[in-house]
Structure 1
Amino acid sequence: MGRAEERQARQRGARRAARKRPSGGKRTGIRRFFTWKKILGTFFAFCLLGMLGFVVLYLVVDIPKGNAAAKMQSNVYKYSNGDVIARTGDVNREIVDLDKVPTEVQKTFVAAENKSFYKDEGIDFKGTARGVLNTVTGKGKQGGSTITQQYVKNYYLSQDQTVSRKLKELVISLKVDREKSKDDILAGYINTSYYGRGAYGIQAAAQAYYSVDAKDLSVQQGAYLAALLQAPSQYDYSSATPTGRKLVKARWNYVLDNMVEEDWLDSGKRAELKFPKPHDPKAPPGREGQIGYLVEEAKREVLRNSNLSEAEFEAGGYTITLNIDPDKQKQLEKAVDAKLNDKLDRKKSKADARVQAGAASVDPKTGKVLAMYGGEDYVKHYTNNATRRDYQSASTFKPLILAAALENGSKTQQGLPITASTVYDGTSKRPVKGGDVAFAPPNEDDVNYGDVTVQKAMNKSVNSVFAQMGVDVGMPKVMETAGKLGMDVKGLPAVPAQTLGSMGASPLEMAGVYATLDNHGKKVTPALVGSVEHKDRTVDLPDPIGDQVVQRGTADSITSVLTGVVDDGTGRAVRNPSQDVAGKTGTSDDNKSAWFTGYTPKLVTSVGLFGEGDKGKQVSMKGAGGFPRINGSGFPADIWAAYTFDAMGSPSSFDLDTNMGAAIAPVPDPSSSAPKDPSSTPTKPEDDDEPTKKPTNTPTPTKSSTTPTPTPTPTRTTPMPTTDPNPTDTDGPPDDPEDGLFGRD
């Protein structure tokens, strides 16, 4: 026998031995406990127990009496001192029979929420299982409930997100579906749901959004109301963000497309339907003046920062204590009236009638919103000007560009570190170098400044300097820093045009950004609501003070530079001999917005003026108050000063850990050393503010490391040297001598 045959024989022998080996040998390790038989047996046992448990639950749980209306309570809103601001929660509902609602409108709700409504048995096992799993694992609120389940939750149960409530909902939904007709269930659903604007039920919603009865709703209006149920506040088109408006339109289209798919709506008619914009809301009684703005924004903040649904919150029983200081609130309202409203004649002047004011005041150490001005009257102007984000932030964005430079140790095109003393070319319309796109922004009034330090460029708000700086730093880094400081820059392109503050922002948002600088780089997220209490649950709110988002050296350097804007720049209207002040003015394209955002060590306040025409259209404010242009150094700065110097308490000084910037220059005031309320009377600028001939000696930029280096102990730097280069005037006019009201921003 050859070797090959021997090897084959051995292999055959091994196989025979393996087959003869006893299979019932003793198992070891984990295999002793887990076999396929045991696993399948356990699975089927659990299924059997689950089925038996559900049968028992079905037999035990009865359909309860409807109790939703009985559980409705008021929500109480209070000032920080405990005084009541307002009570809300009176149920705005009028039950209507289903035959009073057009058939096509009925079908919009089915198309939106539950296309199988007329065929199912009242429950969605898959959606409910997902909801139970999400609740058990803490992944959030369930979705996928049928119309029957939602009706049961609204009318028979509560909005609590618990496993026991979901199981009860499942059982009761099965019983309700067997005992009631589909029309009765649908009628109950559309009459108990919450639509926003304080409206419960379709009749109240039809009046709130379209000023018609439910019987007169069109199919497109019904589709909007059906879409609205998914997120009433977010989808209220009159007050929604741009994202919210896109979402509700997409939801509206989804509803109508589903109706076509189910043969409930002719495709030809569907193609002709246009989105029905709802009417502006009417303020309920007791919301006049600033109260409505405070209450509505407090509600939005609670819903944004908690796990409460709007229906849960509107069921009432909550005490919401705001951080608003009633004294400071009165002082802010008084300042706006004295420095703006009393100077405008909105009835006779179209220009005056276009001006809207908004303001927010924040404690930089706690993040509390101490005062907020939303507009002339919530009843007359529903949109909250303190929180609206549809107007450009303008030059109030410039400090964030310098902050990005300092934070990233950025350098100029010549390789020099960017600091307050770095010299840039301030020529108007100078093409930006190194960018991916051509960009050559003009300075205000097309003034040429020639060689100018960053400090002087900030003081005078020189567009050409900060456009170049943005490219030197890298616009992605600029936008990243802006986001860290508190601006909402998600989805915005990182292009040089953003250096002019072309993105939208609100006074509340800008107050938070500057409060973070005032708080030495530790993030401040303004908090209007201090606490939310309920007898049956605890509502936790996030801490307004967050992590260190930029280095202290960066934040303090920006504060130091911004004191120069007040001492020797566009913010001179707020100079005060007894108080350290930092701030920045801003005026947007075509004078559609004007800003002053400023701060002391104790108080940060942002004031914005916005040109608003018919139907909320953005318009210019030119001519308002009898002035050719409204700049941040005018009405906004006057309001800021009148409020701040009245509300700040005792004078205080910045504690700055930096060796950069203008710091605090003493302001001569031989007549008084007390805080002064700057007048709106135009003043002539100092001589060194006028563009002059270019100096022969240009100082060398100061030496700087790649990141701002704080001094060992907090110090206050001295003012900029008098040898700094002055602006150069080659083509443009001199600074406007009346910059107290409409000077350069």
Structure 2
Amino acid sequence: MGRAEERRARQKSARRAGKGGKKAGKKTGIRRFFTWKMVLGYFLSMGLLLIGAFIVLYFWVDVPNANALATAEANVYKYSDGSIMAKTGKINRESVPLSKIPKEVQHTFVAAENKDFYSDPGVSFTGTARGMINTLLGRGKQGGSTITQQYVKNYYLSQEQTVSRKLKELVISLKVDQQESKDDILAGYINTSYYGRNAYGIQAAARAYYNKDVEKLTVAQGAYLAAVLQAPSQYDYSVAGPNGKRLVEQRWNYVLDNMVEKHWLDAGERAGLKFPVPGDPRPTPGVDGQAGYFVELAKQELAKSGVSEDELAAGGWTITLNIDKKKQQELEKAVRTQLTDKLKPKARTVDKHAQVGAVSVNPKNGAIVAMYGGAGATKHWTNNATRADYQPASTFKPLILASALENESTTEDGTPIRANTVYDGDSKRPVKGQDGGEVGFAPPNEDNRDYGRITVQTAMNNSVNSVFAQMAVDVGLSKVKKTATDLGMNAKAGGFDVAPAMSLGVMGASPKDMAGVYATLDNHGKKVTPTILKSAEKGDRTVELPDTTGDEVISRTAADSVTSVMTGVVDQGTGSAVKQKGQAVAGKTGTSDDNKSAWFTGYTPDLVTSVGMFGEGQGGKQVTLTGTAGGGRVNGGGFPAQIWAAYMGSALDGEGTAKFDLDTDMGAAVPPPPSSSSAASSSASESADPTTSAPPTDESPTASSSAPTTPPTTPPSSGGESSTDTTTPPTTPPTSPSVDTRGFHGGSTGTSKKHG
């Protein structure tokens, strides 16, 4: 055997010996614990433990209630045209149902965040694992969550970055995906996400970035809002730097490209889209100024419709008001130019006391289209438009006539009360009861003026207290109150007692009340209830609002006759300041006792407006308005009428119906019916109003009783209405023993006919 063969033999023998030694030897060190079988066993055991732990966690973790931030929403108040008036609440959010979000806009969010949203199980295990690892390593917020997970984080959990929160998010997301539809989840995600500009939810974002409601968003605008969610502060295009603008545009393109990939957007349409630069940020509208009065009145009306304070406080309501933005601006301008610009409160103490309230109503549907409540809700919280603590004064007189006509009332001697019925217009004339006896009431006229025998028409034109005090008793005080409350007066108002003083309007009433009453007259006797609410919605819930127009409360003939008579107040009486060229106007002035309030309430066929001016001292005490703006007595034909005329001239702007459509045969708007009396048929002069007089500046009613003046010794004649009042009334009434005395209540002697 050669050396080579010997060497190979030794090597072969050594290899054999080595193999035998390994089999016979024992494993040492870490090799004793980690064979490939053992490692596999470890992994399987760990997996089973994790699965078991997850199963326990799944059954242990329930879907919680929504967190406070997710459910907090603002209430949004809008003008009648849909533009935003005010928002209330700490969180600027207005949740909307998915049905209001255009389908292509819905898809922008899915394309941006989770292309497989409609088919995934609600979670991304790899994304969640990556997020937990990054959280443990302190790398902060990382992407990868599904839309469902982001919705769960926003709606049920919090924004904290912890492993336990991520585990809860995973479990709850799986459950939510099983319990809720994909549409509900998508709606929840879109409505709870923060978009920057203090906007939570897509509706607030649409307003904040594009000043429009979500229904009107384009696909390009939707893609921007979906893109901005990734980094709201950095991606706000209006304030972003060059890098931020570049990144948000890239994100916007990414969203649209994904939509094309998923066949949610046509490639040709995609190519034509341009980046929709959002508008500049704007402050959220508050409730200062007149808006505060609007919001408070809307809350009161919502409460009557079944929306509780707690429900309203929870937020999320979209409340559209009847307020017309243009008319509102014109009303505020009229108050400013006709009164407040003339006030000098630092120089004149009385100017500090002047308050104005006004309400303008559409008589066809009761909509309050404009309202002035005062200097602003944050400056003067009491709403002068709805306060009912001041007397409406002589604006109540038309209601007495309305009651007389509705009840077919007569004078003491049985003469029907009409526009051409003659009464004694002397100041402080004692009011007679049905038995002919005095009732202990003898109100003075303004400036204690005697008018002698005058028609109801002239008495309305000149607001003669003595005539309407007697008429109220002739009709019956209870009947007068019933008619007034049927028309819209508050039966429980302070001072509304069944007493002769009622005729002077000594009860409490607000401009809103009086606007409603006159709107019912304007609406031919069918009840009109002024309302500021147009609609109220929250999600899919719509509040059912009460009808604002109702059944006939007085006959059309009675209502139209009163309207006709009140046109004389404007054409020839105390309301002449409100004349509108080519426009028929009916209305009435009013001035309360001691000049504490002054009014003008009037209307055209299309619009009713009541303006009240009130003297309010320290602590709400009622004080006189005399001396306001450096003048003398404030009457309804002054500042209130001037405000009314300035507003109505602009609000109507030559539009609307010029003439009233009246079903009547009496009053200033139509010739009076021929009298059946022998005096009326004997001559034209006897069918006219026995007295003519220049209209006074206004009336100054009082509830005090005074001794009567000496009545005429000869009964006056009954005549038709007078359409002119241009001369001073005679100091001695003419005598004519042969004339008819119907309707005259003079307590006369001599040949006068006794009334019983």
TM-score (norm. length: structure 2): 0.56
What is the Cα deviation at residue 493 of structure 1?
A: 2.2
Residues 451 and 725 in structure 1, CA contact (< 8 A), matched pair in contact too: no
Alignment-mate amino acid for residue 317 of structure 1? G
**Which residue does the alignment assign to 2:718?**
700
**Which residue does the alignment assign to 2:485?**
483
d(CA) in 2 for partners of 1:634, 1:689 = 14
Residue pairs, 1:464-503, within 5 angstroms: 464-490=466-492, 492-503=496-507
Residue pairs, 1:76-115, within 5 angstroms: 76-90=76-90
d(CA) in 1 for partners of 2:646, 2:584 = 15
Which of residues 555, 558, 567 in structure 1 aligns to 2:571?
Answer: 567
What is the Cα deviation at residue 698 of structure 1?
A: 5.0
What is the Cα deviation at residue 380 of structure 1?
A: 1.1
**Which residue does the alignment assign to 2:547?**
543
**Which residue does the alignment assign to 1:295?**
295
What is the Cα deviation at residue 374 of structure 1?
A: 0.5
Residue pairs, 1:396-411, within 5 angstroms: 396-411=395-410
Residues 410 and 418 in structure 1, CA contact (< 8 A), matched pair in contact too: yes
**Which residue does the alignment assign to 1:383?**
382
d(CA) in 1 for partners of 2:457, 2:726 = 10
**Which residue does the alignment assign to 2:275?**
none
Residues 693 and 726 in structure 2, CA contact (< 8 A), matched pair in contact too: no
The higher radius of gyration belongs to 2
What is the Cα deviation at residue 697 of structure 1?
A: 10
What is the Cα deviation at residue 288 of structure 1?
A: 2.1
What is the Cα deviation at residue 286 of structure 1?
A: 2.3
- Call closer, same or farther: CA 1:520–1:726 in 2, change over 3 Å: farther
2:311 paired with 1:309 = no
**Which residue does the alignment assign to 1:626?**
630
Alignment-mate amino acid for residue 489 of structure 1? A
d(CA) in 1 for partners of 2:670, 2:408 = 24
Q: Can you list the C-alpha shifts for 1:571-606, whole angstroms capped at 9, x where unaligned? A: 011123311010000000001000000101111000
**Which residue does the alignment assign to 1:354?**
353
- Call closer, same or farther: CA 1:345–1:546 in 2, change over 3 Å: same
- Call closer, same or farther: CA 1:730–1:623 in 2, change over 3 Å: farther
- Call closer, same or farther: CA 1:582–1:723 in 2, change over 3 Å: closer
Residues 453 and 725 in structure 1, CA contact (< 8 A), matched pair in contact too: no
Residues 443 and 463 in structure 1, CA contact (< 8 A), matched pair in contact too: yes
**Which residue does the alignment assign to 2:603?**
599
**Which residue does the alignment assign to 1:247?**
none
**Which residue does the alignment assign to 1:557?**
561
d(CA) in 1 for partners of 2:471, 2:652 = 35
**Which residue does the alignment assign to 1:658?**
664
Secondary structure of residue in 2 paired with 1:299:
helix
2:453 paired with 1:451 = yes
Structure 2: stretches of 5+ with no match in the other structure: 1-59, 93-155, 157-283, 672-691, 698-710, 734-756
Q: Can you list the C-alpha shifts for 1:232-265, whole angstroms capped at 9, x where unaligned? A: xxxxxxxxxxxxxxxxxxxxxxxxxxxxxxxxxx
What is the Cα deviation at residue 564 of structure 1?
A: 0.4
Residues 694 and 725 in structure 2, CA contact (< 8 A), matched pair in contact too: no
Residues 699 and 724 in structure 1, CA contact (< 8 A), matched pair in contact too: no
- Call closer, same or farther: CA 1:488–1:439 in 2, change over 3 Å: same
- Call closer, same or farther: CA 1:392–1:516 in 2, change over 3 Å: same
Residues 695 and 725 in structure 1, CA contact (< 8 A), matched pair in contact too: no
Structure 1: stretches of 5+ with no match in the other structure: 1-59, 93-155, 157-283, 666-685, 703-718, 732-745
Residues 395 and 588 in structure 2, CA contact (< 8 A), matched pair in contact too: yes
Residues 695 and 726 in structure 1, CA contact (< 8 A), matched pair in contact too: no
d(CA) in 1 for partners of 2:574, 2:725 = 20
d(CA) in 1 for partners of 2:541, 2:424 = 61
Q: Can you list the C-alpha shifts for 1:606-628, whole angstroms capped at 9, x where unaligned? A: 00000001111111111111122
**Which residue does the alignment assign to 1:506?**
510
- Call closer, same or farther: CA 1:695–1:355 in 2, change over 3 Å: farther
Residues 330 and 651 in structure 2, CA contact (< 8 A), matched pair in contact too: yes
d(CA) in 2 for partners of 1:723, 1:608 = 26
- Call closer, same or farther: CA 1:82–1:635 in 2, change over 3 Å: same
2:338 paired with 1:336 = no
What is the Cα deviation at residue 67 of structure 1?
A: 4.9
Secondary structure of residue in 1 paired with 2:396:
helix
TM-score (norm. length: structure 1): 0.56
Residues 358 and 384 in structure 1, CA contact (< 8 A), matched pair in contact too: yes
Alignment-mate amino acid for residue 341 of structure 2? D
Residue pairs, 1:426-445, within 5 angstroms: 426-434=425-433, 437-445=439-447
2:545 paired with 1:515 = no
What is the Cα deviation at residue 721 of structure 1?
A: 5.8
What is the Cα deviation at residue 636 of structure 1?
A: 0.2
What is the Cα deviation at residue 445 of structure 1?
A: 1.2
Q: Can you list the C-alpha shifts for 1:120-171, whole angstroms capped at 9, x where unaligned? A: xxxxxxxxxxxxxxxxxxxxxxxxxxxxxxxxxxxx9xxxxxxxxxxxxxxx
What is the Cα deviation at residue 70 of structure 1?
A: 4.5
- Call closer, same or farther: CA 1:690–1:314 in 2, change over 3 Å: closer
Residues 359 and 611 in structure 2, CA contact (< 8 A), matched pair in contact too: yes
Secondary structure of residue in 1 paired with 2:359:
strand
Q: Can you list the C-alpha shifts for 1:257-290, whole angstroms capped at 9, x where unaligned? A: xxxxxxxxxxxxxxxxxxxxxxxxxxx9922221
What is the Cα deviation at residue 489 of structure 1?
A: 1.5
The two structures, once aligned, show a CA RMSD in angstroms of 3.0
Secondary structure of residue in 1 paired with 2:492:
coil
- Call closer, same or farther: CA 1:721–1:649 in 2, change over 3 Å: closer
Q: Give aligned-pair identity as a percent.
A: 60
- Call closer, same or farther: CA 1:285–1:85 in 2, change over 3 Å: closer
Alignment-mate amino acid for residue 81 of structure 2? N
Residues 76 and 84 in structure 1, CA contact (< 8 A), matched pair in contact too: yes
d(CA) in 2 for partners of 1:363, 1:620 = 32
Alignment-mate amino acid for residue 347 of structure 1? K
Residue pairs, 1:208-219, within 5 angstroms: none
- Call closer, same or farther: CA 1:333–1:419 in 2, change over 3 Å: same
Secondary structure of residue in 1 paired with 2:557:
helix
Residues 448 and 730 in structure 1, CA contact (< 8 A), matched pair in contact too: no
Secondary structure of residue in 1 paired with 2:484:
helix
Secondary structure of residue in 2 paired with 1:577:
coil
